[in-house]
Amino acid sequence: GWCPLSLTGAQTTQLLVWPRWTPAVLWDRVTLTCQGLGTSGAITWYKDRRRWWQKGPDHLTVTEIGTYRCDRPSTGLSPSVRVLNDWLVLQVPVWVLLEGDTVTLRCRV
């Protein structure tokens, strides 16, 4: 799955990225999901620090480069996610890595 460690008792909004690589790049067909408490129809999306979509869905497929955030009235503003369209990208998995873990990197052209 691609949920944070636990939403039980969490009071913050999370912006989840699929596929789970960072940085996110357009040619991966990136889906953003705004996760938190409250009704999904009340989500406000921001792109490049400007309100972009009010009363939007809880997830969307990104078609433009930019920096995205979402706001859920019950849990607030999410951290930002930047989506790139660079021609050469070294990506790492978004999950937490500990010293000694084996990790797969993606270098895409």
Question: Over the stretch 50-86, which tens digit does the pLDDT of each residue have?
Answer: 999 988 899 999 999 999 999 998 889 999 999 999 8
Q: Is residue 44 in a domain?
A: yes
Domain hosting residue 86, numbered range: 14-108
Q: Is residue 87 in a domain?
A: yes
Judge whether 60 and 31 are in contact, CB under 8 Å: yes
pLDDT at residue 106, rounded to an integer: 84
The number of distinct structural domains making up the chain is 1
Give the count of beta carbons closer than 10 Å to the beta carbon of residue 40.
15
Q: Is residue 4 in a domain?
A: no
Q: Is residue 49 in a domain?
A: yes
Longest distance between any two alpha carbons in the chain, whole Å: 44
Q: Report d(CA 28, CA 11) in Å as an integer.
A: 30
Rounded to 5°, the CA angle 85-91-94 comes to: 110
| pTM of the model as a whole | 0.80
List, in sequence order, every residue forming a beta bridge with 60; answer none if it has no partner.
32
Distances (CA, A) of 69 to 52, 85, 86: 10, 18, 21
Question: Over the stretch 26-44, which tens digit does the pLDDT of each residue have?
Answer: 999 999 999 988 766 789 9
Instruction: State the CATH number of the domain containing residue 70.
Output: 2.60.40
Q: Is residue 7 in a domain?
A: no
pLDDT at residue 107, rounded to an integer: 81
- Altogether, the residues listed in the chain come to a count of 109
Q: Is residue 3 in a domain?
A: no
